[in-house]
A and B are shown apart, each in its own frame.
Chain A
Amino acid sequence: MRKSLPFGLKTENLLSLGALVVLFVLSSIASPYFLQLRNLLNILKQVSFSGIIGLGMAFVIIAGGIDLSVGSMTAFIGAIAILIVNWLGGGFWAIAAAWIGAMILGAVAGLFNGILVTKGRVAAFIVTLGTMAIFRSLTLYIGNAGQFISNSDAYGNMGMSSVLGVPTAVWVFFILAFLLSGLLNRTRYGRYVCAVGSNEKVAAYAAIDIDKIRMLTYVITGVMVGVSAVLLSSRMNSVNSSDTAANFEMDAIAAVVIGGTPMTGGRGTVWGVVIGAVIIGMINNMLNMLSVSAYLQGTVKGLVIIAAVFIQRGSARSRNGG
């Protein structure tokens, strides 16, 4: 019997967890500042926004899809959230409305992607490439290519807030990871997501409604985008229509892949996304501390993604016994 690991971790996580530990040791040797609590929390906070989206992306990828629209969608929903806050006067109820509105909007946007992919039978890559352009363009149009600035100090304070010394966004990231990990591993829906991604025909013959399962993965991702959009826009207390959440799709997909979920779908892990996101954050942090040009950080990130898939493929092959 395979021994079960604590915290819902799976054997797939071990590789990325090992990489995390190695990076951690290397970073603490490279810079004395690395191990300072403030720096560590800062890393977590930086990766939380795209990491939250990565949690939903894991479901999409496990079910055999992809969602490229999440970055633009974050900017779009963040902008709408700020408009709601301003419109309703910026108080508690305005912020509550922004939260609810953002999540509903995210669910609807995800549903739109999901319907086109399942009922419309258009490849997920194409659908979400299209909606990626649409959401960014709508944001630019509504904001006249400028900034959405919130009039509410309360909104901005929420974005900067901490609980027990840990930034709110980090709490949200971990709580959502816990919940979604349970959804993936302990519920019918999660099992069916893996089944659909492994073998669609078997799933269909097993009386699983594959379209519904798939569609919901995009809805989950949309809701995660809604959450991330509120956290991100409140942290800055503004949204820049052209570059807020730019490349979030890449960071989210990278976190999923580095965390050990194969792009071919069928299996994967939610906690792996957390590990993957933290690995990306630590690498960026180390590059900063070693004063490597910010422009080169993308190169490193790209190499890490490719290396992660390369290593996973090697280990999958050895597991299958040649």
Chain B
Amino acid sequence: MSDVLVRTSGISKEFSSVRVLDDISIEIRKGEILGIIGENGAGKSTFIKILSGIYTPTQGSIEFDGRRVELRDAAAAKRIGVSLIPQEFNLVETLNVYENIFLGEELRTRGGLLDRRGMIAHTRELMKELGAAVDPSASIRTLSVAQKQMVEIAKAIKIESRLLIMDEPTTVLTVHEIDILFALMRRLKGKGVTIVYISHKLKEVRSVCDRVMVLRDGRFICLETTDALEIDEMARRMVGRELNQIFPPKRKAEGEVAFRVEGLAVPGLVAGLSFEIRSGEILGFAGLIGAGRTELAEAIMGIRRVSAGRIFVGGRELRIRKPADAVKAGIAYLSEDRQGAGIITSFAVHKNVTLVSLGDYARPLISRAKELEKTRFYVDRFEIKAPSLDARLENLSGGNQQKVSLAKSLDTDPKVLIVDEPTRGVDVKAKHDIYAFIRELADRGLAVMFISSELEEVMGMCERIVVMREGRAAGQVEGGHITEEEIMYYAMGIKEGV
């Protein structure tokens, strides 16, 4: 018996004559964890969608366990034991855990009725196997993101999965939850399940994967054992050039206090937070998911009802009741939820760029020429790659969408910029660009509030960091001696004190 589970021969995929995947021939070994890395648009998602039968390749063939297979649809792939855990969860929120796990494949009693007891028992077994504390009868709505992910995994391993494909599973997980996921992956591997793992987080790839494949612009770059590839080297191969310094140099801000918040409170979410940001300063906000950072930003923007607190921009106190008030006062917000709250995917590039600042282009008729001119400016400045200015945003990669979202926030000419997870789901090159832009904006006098769950980037970007926990500032770290451990101590409540 050979130790190869999947062999792809010359797989290519074209969309309307654009080649997004070019001649991929690899072997995936039985029982290994194979990482796939690459920038957005490198072809990772296309490749796994072909493996899981969602796309059919334009050219090339797939062998599964030594036999040539034609995967016409996802069901065909499922039948031979391939399951995909998609980036976006595919759960019915109004149903409960076991109903989701058995959706479309419900167990029945001999009388033809639903075998609820059987399904619950089976679900409980699955959860035990996964080491996950999830009640089979709990409604999906009540679960945390990590628990939902466990349900997705349970769904996938309910059928005898031989190949489990995970598309960026850790994007929304906290550090602790990621550890649980990795332990689970190793356990599954021990049982002989082969795992394909896509991630932007190279450190994680290095810690959990046996081998790693690098794709760039739809082409195969290399497939090596993880030990042989340092993180810097991974990044270099993904980008195809040297990334000498990912973070721009920090600068201590000497400017006036441009933005001040005093005792801001949102019932149950933010408990009386105070801070100030100087002009030219990038103030970091670290903390675990659920610490209240996004809620704080939303409260400042007038999206959430505030119960107490005062907000000052340039020394003047504001009364913010709705987002329009915040925008008028010169505060801009880049949402963490790009597709949900940042951009309109069915709108063209220029219509997204001018979404908040449209008043400047309409008197009262919108000047399309002016819109396009300004959009061209941002496209050049942020190096946004788009087929045309008229292209709908759904045709752009995540990194380029994020740059458009940033352009949208900046087009109001703000004095204060709040960025919330600005590089989530964005490739290395775009990350690098976004860091540089934010630094540049600060250097030009903006006060920047930098919210991120990636400690590395908060530490790389910010001179001063507020660590939040349970809606409060659990601590503040400053200067050159910031360590990851110190931030985590504050974030997890091991250490206190501002």
Contact = CB atoms under 8 A, between A and B. Distances in A.
B322 A195 contact: no
Interface stretch (B27-35, B89-97, B341-349): B341-349
Interface stretch (A185-193, A238-246, A252-260): A185-193
A198 interface: yes
B216 to A, nearest CB: 22
A207 B346 contact: no
Interface size class of A (residues with CB under 8 A): 20 to 34
B358 interface: yes
Contacts of B343: 202
A204 interface: yes
A205 interface: yes
B347 A194 contact: yes
B358 A205 contact: no
Interface string B291-313: 00000000001010000000000
Given A195-B347, A198-B347, A202-B344, A207 B327 contact: yes
A207 B324 contact: yes
B351 A202 contact: no
Contacts of B394: 320
A180 B55 CA distance: 42
Contacts of B408: 206
B390 interface: yes
A202 B341 contact: yes
A1 B388 contact: yes
B359 interface: yes
B201 to A, nearest CB: 27
A208 B41 CA distance: 32
B356 A207 contact: yes
A276 B134 CA distance: 53
B393 to A, nearest CB: 11
A89 B343 CA distance: 57
B342 A209 contact: no
Interface string B355-370: 1101100101110000
Interface string A116-153: 00000000000000000000000000000000000000
Contact of A206 (B340, B356, B365): B356
A188 B366 contact: yes
A203 B303 CA distance: 12
Contact of B344 (A2, A187, A199, A322): A199
Interface in B364-398: 364-366, 388-390, 394
B45 to A, nearest CB: 14
Contact of B341 (A198, A205, A207): A205
A320 to B, nearest CB: 8
B207 interface: no
A206 B366 CA distance: 17
A209 B335 CA distance: 18
B326 interface: yes
A266 B324 CA distance: 22
Interface of A: 1-2, 182, 186-188, 191-192, 194-195, 198-199, 201-209, 266-267, 320-322
27 contacts: A1-B388, A2-B390, A186-B366, A187-B362, A187-B364, A188-B358, A188-B366, A191-B351, A191-B358, A194-B347, A195-B347, A195-B355, A199-B340, A199-B345, A201-B341, A202-B344, A203-B344, A204-B323, A205-B301, A205-B323, A205-B341, A208-B324, A208-B355, A209-B324, A266-B346, A267-B346, A321-B16
In the A-B complex, list the 7 residue pairs whose CB atoms are closest, starting with the nearest: A207-B323, A207-B324, A207-B327, A186-B365, A188-B362, A206-B355, A205-B341
Given A202-B344, A267-B346, 10 more contacts: A1-B389, A188-B366, A191-B366, A194-B347, A198-B345, A201-B337, A202-B343, A204-B341, A205-B341, A322-B15
